[in-house]
Amino acid sequence: MKPEMLVKEHYRTAVYQTPFHPRTSQLNVLNEWHRWKDYTIADAYFDEALEYAAIRNACAVFDLTPMTKHRITGPDALAFLNRLITRDIAKIKPGRVGYCVWCDDGGKVIDDGTVFHMRPGDYRLCSQERQLDWLTRSAYGFDVSIVEDTHDVCGVALQGPTSCAVLKGIGCSGVEKLSPFAIGWYPFAGGELMVSRTGYTGDLGYELWIDPERAVALWDALFCVGAAHGIRPMGTHALEVSRIEAGFIQAQVDFMPADQAIHQDRARSPFELDLGRLVDFSKPNFNGRRALLEEQKRGSRYRLVRLDIEGNKPARSAYIYDRKRTVVGTVTSAEWSPSAKANIALASLQMPWGLPDDELWAEIYYQRELKWSKVMARCRVVPGAFYDPPRRRATPAADF
Amino acid sequence: MGAANYDAIVVGAGHNGLTNAAYLARAGLKVLVLERNPWIGGAAVSREIEKGWIYSNCSYVCSLLRPEIFRDLELARHGLQIVPYGGGVSITSTGDILGNYTDHDVQRREFARHSPRDGDSYQRYSTDVMRQCKFIRPLLLRTPPDPTSLKPRDIREMLFLSKEFRKLGERVIYDTIRFYTMSIADFMNEYFESDLIKAHLSGSGIIGTALGVYSPGTAYVLLHHYMGDVDGSIGSWGFARGGMGSVSKALAAAFTAHGGEIVTDAPVDRVIVRHGKVSGVALTNGNEYHAKIVVSNLDPKRTFTKLFSEKDIGASFMKRARNFKIRGSSGKLNIALDGLPVFTALGENNPLRFGDMHFLDSLEKMEHAYDDWKSGTWSKEPYLDLLMPSMTDPTMTPTGKHWMSVFVQYVPAQIHGRDWTDADREAFKNTVLDQIARYSPNFKSLIRHVEVRTPREIENEVGLTEGNIFQGELTMDQLMFNRPFPGFAQYRGPVGGFYMCGSGTHPGGGVMAAPGANAAREILMDLRRPNPVPEGWRDD
C-alpha cells in the first residue's frame, strides 16, 4: 500500500490517481473515467472507435497501473508457485512470462493472471483480483517472501502493429527480438524499464513496467516518438473489444472468482473455462489437483465456448438455446468485432453442449429508439481467437 | 490459338468483378477473371508509383463496402482491415474552419460558432438524413424490381419496396420524394443559414457528379456518401489498410481460395455471340476463352460499345448504351510528401487533419467551379477532397513521410471539345497545387512526386469511360430499376448468357461490392442454384 492509503484520514481520498494521471487527464477530452480498484482509469479518451482502430492499425497506450501485483521471492519461490498454480512453473525460465490460473482446493478458479519470472528466483504475479490472503495461506510451510507491490510499480500496455517501432525509438534497442512472453530490460531515464511482450489485445504488443517516479517521463517518451507511428491513448472500452476478439476471459465477467462465489455452482474449473491446457497433473501437488483429477474422470459441468453469431446485434447477456427449445447457457461477453467483421461472444454452456455440430441459438434483445426487439440468431462454435494476425507472433517483430 | 472452357468468364478484375467471381466460384462454378492491366483491382488499387510510397491512386476511402459481403466472403481472414479516420474540416479563405466531430455536443457547438440556430438544426438534419439512410440500406443487396413486370418475384419485390416506403409515414414519404429529386443546395436551405455550413455539407452532393450544388438530383448523391458505415457507425469513412488495393487483394484471395483463376495482361477484344447467346470472349491477341456465361465488370457504355458488335444487339439498346450518362467530372492528384504540411488555419496537432479537408466558403463559390466545367475547362477554384492517409495508415510511406490524396472536382473529359494535352495537364496540376499552397505555406517545399490523373489517364488506365468514378451518374434516371437502362436493371444483358456486374448497375458506385454480389445471385438463379448472397442486415 502507498503510505497515504494507510493513514487515519485515508477516507478523504476514496479514489487515487495513477502516476500517469498528469498526462492521461490532459488527453481525456471526454472526461470519462471509471473506478479500477484504488484508482481512476479512462473509459475512453477521445473516440472509442478510433482508440480501438489504433490497437489494430498503429499503436495504443493503456494505463494498467491498478493491476494487482505481487513480488514473490525466496528459496522456495518456485516450489510455492508450483503449489499455487496449476501449470508447471519450472518451465517458465528467467526472462519469460506465463499465463496461468490458480484454484481453490475444490479445483475452482480463483483468478487468472501472469507470472513474470524476472531474474532467477524472482517472480511477479499479476492478477485482476487481490490475492494476498490466498497467497499467504498457500505459502504456509514455504520459505518465501510475498509482497504486494501494486502501488510501487506502474505499468502501461503499448499494443498494436507499430508498438515495436515506438519502443526502438525510445531506446529499447533489440526489443524486436523479444519473442511472445519474453521480458527485456532497458536503461531508461536513469532507471530501468522492464518490457514484456504481453498484452490483452491479441495483437503485437508490450507491457512496460516502471517505477512511479519515471512514469511521466515514460509516457512523454512514448508519445514523443509515437507521434510518427500513430500512437493514441486508449481507454477500457477499446481494450474490451480487442480482448474479446482475442478470445481472452476476464474475472468477474466471464467467470466468478471461486473465493468470492457465494453459490458454489457459480465458480468454474480451468477445464470449464477452456483452460485445460494450463493444468499439468505430471508436476508436484498443487491446490485443487485432487478435485481436478476427479473432474477429469467424471466430466465437467460447463464448457466455455467462443461463438460467431449471425447478424450484427451483439448478444450481450443473451440466453443460448439448443435448437431454439432449451436454455443451455448464457453469453458472458459479446461485441461486434471490427477486425474479424463478425458478431462475437464468449458463452458458458452446460455440458454436453458447445460441440461444433450443435444447433445453438442466441436470444438477443436490442433496443432502438426505446423500442425493444428480439431476434433468435444462429451461433457457430469457433476454436481459438476470433482475430489472430500473424504479426502477433512474428519474431523479430515488424515495424508495422 | 488455344481455347479453354469455363462455366463463367468475368471481364475485368475490379472489385465488383472479383466479388461476382468469388460468389460464382463458391457456388462451384469454374470461373475465369480476365484483366487487361498487369495488376488487378480496377479503381480499387494500391500502386507504388514513387518508390517507397504506396498510393490508393483511384478510389481512396471506404465506407460503402457491404459489411454482409465483407463477412460472408471472410475478407478479414483474407487480410482486409478498414480503419476509420475521424476528423475532417473545411477551411475558408479568411482562415476560419468548420470541423467534423463524432461527439454530438462538440459538433453542435462547432455549428453554433457559425450560427447558433444551425447548431440546433443539426439535430433535425441528422435525423432526416439518417431516415433516408435507413430506408435505402436494406435495398442495396436486393435486385431492383421491374415495375412493368407481373412476374411473382417482381411483384413481391415491389410490395417489399412499397411496404418499406409506407413505414416512413406520410410526412416523410413526401420529404423522400422531394429529397430524391432536389438539389443539395435546396436541401441545405431547409435546415441551415450559415453559408459555410451549407457548403461544407454539400460537398458530398457533388463528388464524382457532373452537376452543381444547385442542380436537381444532387441531394441523392449526398445520401450515397452517407449510407455506408464503418462497423455500424453510419456515415463514417475509413481507409483500407495498405490502400484500396487491399480490398481487391482480399476479394481475389477469396475467389482463388474457391478455385477461381485470374489472368492479367489479358485485354478482351470482344464477346463472342452465337445464335443470340454468348459463347465466350476473344482477347486482342486472338486467344479465346469459352463459357456460356460472360459477365462484364466494365461500365455499361464501354461494355456495349467496345465489347460487342453493333450487329449482335438491337439498335435502340445500342443507342441507350451510347447515350448512357457517364460524364467525366473529376480528376485526382497523388502527392508524395517529405513531411507533414502545416495548414495555417489549423495550427499543429489538430485532430481534424486526420480526415477529409476542403477549402471552401459558400455554395456560390462551388457553383462557380461547376460553371468552369460547363464552359469546357477544369475549375479554376476546384472543390478538393484532400486526405493524408499516411497520418493514419503506417504501411503506406516511410515513417515521417506522407502522401496526400487530392480528389478534384470539376474536371471535364475534354478541354473545350478537344482532347487533353500534356500542357493542359500541367496547368491543371498547378491550379490544384496553388490552391493547397494558399492554405499551407510549407506544402510546396515538401513535394517529392506528383501523379496527375485527369479523366484521360483514368479512362486509359482504369477503363472508366470519361473517368467517371461511379461508372455512370447517380441521378434518378439512372438509379434503381433505371440502372443502367430501364428494363435491364436485373443484371442481365440483351444477349443470352450475358450479365453486367459493375457499378453501372444497381446500387451504383463507391466500392460497395453490392452490384457484383447481386449479379451473382441472378446468374445462379438462372442456373437454378440457391441464392448465395446474404440478405442485408435489418436495423430497425
> Which residues in chain B come in under a pLDDT of 50?
1-2
User: For residue range B374-427, what is the model confidence (pLDDT) as tens digits?
Assistant: 999 999 999 999 999 999 999 999 999 999 999 999 999 999 999 999 999 999
- Looking at residue B1, its pLDDT comes to 44
Q: B392 and A230: CB-CB below 8 Å?
A: yes
Between CA B73 and CA A196 the distance in angstroms is 36
Query: Is residue B129 within 8 Å of residue B219, measured between CB atoms?
Result: no
- Write the CB contacts of B504 (distance below 8 Å, at least 6 apart in sequence): B299, B300, B301, B303, B324, B326, B471, B472, B483, B484, B515
Q: Which of these, A21, A12, A60, A61, lies nearest to A39 by C-alpha position?
A: A21
Q: Which residues of chain A does B82 touch, with a Cβ-Cβ cutoff of 8 Å?
A: 338
Please give the pLDDT value at position A80. 98
**Interface check A5 vs B, CB under 8 A:** no
CA distance B278 to A338: 42
| B89-91 and B357-359 strand pairing | parallel
Q: Which of chain B's residues have a Cβ under 8 Å away from the Cβ of A336?
A: 231-232
pLDDT at A386: 97
Q: Are A162 and A205 in contact (CB under 8 A)?
A: no
Which of B62, B395, B396 to mutate to probe the A interface, most A CBs <10 Å? B395
Using a CB-CB cut-off of 8 Å, the residues of chain A touching B70 are 341
Q: For chain A, which residues make up each domain, given as ranges?
A: 3-67+151-245, 69-148, 302-384
Report residue A152's pLDDT band, with 50, 70 and 90 as the boundaries.
very high
If one counts every other C-beta atom within 10 angstroms of the C-beta of residue B120, the result is: 14
A106 touching B, CB under 8 A?
no
Where residue B524 falls (left for φ over 0; alpha for ψ -120 to 50; beta otherwise) is alpha
| Interface touch B394/A229, C-beta < 8 Å | yes
Q: How many domains does chain B have?
A: 1
Q: Which residues of A touch B393 (CB under 8 A)?
A: 57
User: In angstroms, what separates the C-alpha of B401 from chain A's closest C-alpha?
Assistant: 9
What residues in B contact A312, CB-CB < 8 Å? 67, 232, 537, 539
> pLDDT digit string (tens) for A116-147?
999 999 999 999 999 999 999 999 999 999 99
Burial A66-98 (b: 16+ CB within 10 A, else e): bbbbbbbbbebbbbbbbbbbbbbbeebeebbbb
CB count within 10 Å of CB A264 equals 9
Closest-CA distance, A221 to chain B, in angstroms, reads: 17
**pLDDT band with cut points at 50, 70 and 90 for residue A2:** confident
Does B81 contact A387 at a Cβ distance shorter than 8 Å?
no
C-alpha cell at B478: 439512372
Q: What is the nearest CA distance from A147 to chain B, expressed in angstroms?
A: 42
- Under 8 Å CB pairs connecting chains A and B tally to 66
Cβ separation B83–A53 shorter than 8 A: yes
Q: For residue A351, how many other CB atoms are within 10 A of its CB?
A: 14
- Report CA-CA distances (Å) from B232 to A100, B67, B99, B102, B201: 36, 9, 22, 14, 21
B158: closest CA of chain A, how far (Å): 25
- Mutation target vs A (from B74, B81, B338; most A CBs, 10 A cutoff): B81
Please tell me which of the candidates B231, B233, B241 has its beta carbon nearest to residue A57: B241
Whether chain B has a CB inside 8 Å of the CB on A87: the answer is no
Give pLDDT tens digits for A270-314: 999 999 999 999 999 999 999 999 999 999 999 999 999 999 999
Look up residue A390 and give its three cell numbers. Answer: 500473424
* Among the partner residues A228, A338, A387, nearest to B399 by beta-carbon distance: A228
How many angstroms away from the CA of A390 is the closest CA of chain B? 10
Name chain B contacts of A168, Cβ cutoff 8 Å: none
B103: which chain A residues are within 8 Å (Cβ-Cβ)? 30, 47
Asked if A399 and B399 come within 8 Å (Cβ–Cβ), the reply is yes
Q: Closest chain B residue to A335 measured between Cα atoms?
A: B231
Distance from CA of B74 to the nearest CA of A (A): 8
Q: Minimal Cα–Cα distance from A219 to chain B, Å?
A: 18
A69-148 maps to CATH 3.40.50.1370: no
Distance CA A223, CA A23 (A): 10
CA distance A87 to chain B (A): 32
CATH of the domain at B19: 3.50.50.60
3-state SS string over chain A?
CCHHHHCHHHHHCCCECCCCHHHHHHHCCCCEEEEECCEEEEEECCCHHHHHHHHHHCEEEEECCCCEEEEEECCCHHHHHHHHECCCHHHCCCCEEEEEEEECCCCCEEEEEEEEECCCCCEEEEECCCCHHHHHHHCCCCCCEEEECCCCCEEEEEECCCHHHHHHHCCCCCHHHCCCCEEEEEEECCEEEEEECCCCCCCCEEEEEECHHHHHHHHHHHHHHHHHHCEEECCHHHHHHHHHHCCCCCECCCECCCCCCCCHHHCCCCHHHCCHHHCCCCCCCCCCHHHHHHHHHHCCCEEEEEEEECCCCCCCCCEEEECCCEEEEEEEEEEEECCCCEEEEEEEEECCCCCCCCCEEEEEEEEECCEEEEEEEEEEEECCCCCCCHHHCCCCCCCC
Q: State the CATH architecture for A302-384.
A: Beta Barrel (2.40)
> Which residue type is seen at B474?
L
* Chain B residues with beta carbon closer than 8 angstroms to that of A380: none
Return the residue of A nearest to B349 by Cα. A227
| A339 CA: distance to closest CA in chain B (Å) | 6
Domain that holds residue B32: 3-82+241-323+469-526
Asked if A298 reaches chain B (Cβ–Cβ under 8 Å), the answer is no
Sign of CA dihedral B143, B144, B148, B154: positive
* pLDDT 10s digits, A306-348: 999 999 999 999 999 999 999 999 999 999 999 999 999 999 9
Q: Cβ separation of B71 and A342 shorter than 8 Å?
A: yes
Asked whether residue B180 is domain-assigned, the answer is no
Share of chain A above pLDDT 70, in %: 100
Residue from the list A56, A312, A338 with its beta carbon closest to the beta carbon of B537: A312
A297 touches chain B (CB under 8 A): no
Residue B72 lies in a domain: yes
Selection from B443, B425, B307 nearest residue B388 by Cα: B443
Does domain A3-67+151-245 match CATH 2.20.28.270? no
Assigned domain for B71 exists: yes
Partners of A236 in the β-ladder: none
What is the arithmetic mean of pLDDT over A260-279? Answer: 96
pLDDT value at residue B536: 87
Instruction: Round to whole Å and give the CA distance between B242 and B524.
Output: 33
Helices (H), B377-416: none
Contacts of B81 in chain A (CB under 8 A): 56-57, 339
Query: Are B317 and B487 in contact, with CB atoms under 8 Å apart?
Result: no
Residue type, A232: R
Round the CA-based radius of gyration of chain A to a whole number and report it.
Answer: 21
